[in-house]
Amino acid sequence: MTFELYKDKKGEFRWRLRHANGNIMATSSEGYKAKASATKCIENVKASADAPVKELK
């Protein structure tokens, strides 16, 4: 999988996580004015790899 960092139509930075088969697995929930902020969000997602799964009923 690969994180893609790009600018949206408003000129804000966003990211998406793309699977090797081309499917988009996750996206940023907002645009970021600073590239560093979007990159920090990617790092936070990477760090959450060990987060538990909570099933909601």
Tens digits of residue pLDDT in 3-56: 999 999 999 999 999 999 999 999 999 999 999 999 999 999 999 988 999 999
Residues 41 and 28: beta-carbon distance below 8 Å: yes
In a domain, 36, yes or no: yes
Helix (H) or strand (E) run with residue 35 in it: helix 35-47
Residues 24 and 16: beta-carbon distance below 8 Å: yes
Q: How many domains does the chain have?
A: 1
pTM over 0.95: no
In a domain, 29, yes or no: yes
Residue 29, domain extent: 2-47
CATH number of the domain encompassing residue 18? 3.30.160.160
Whole-number pLDDT of residue 49: 86
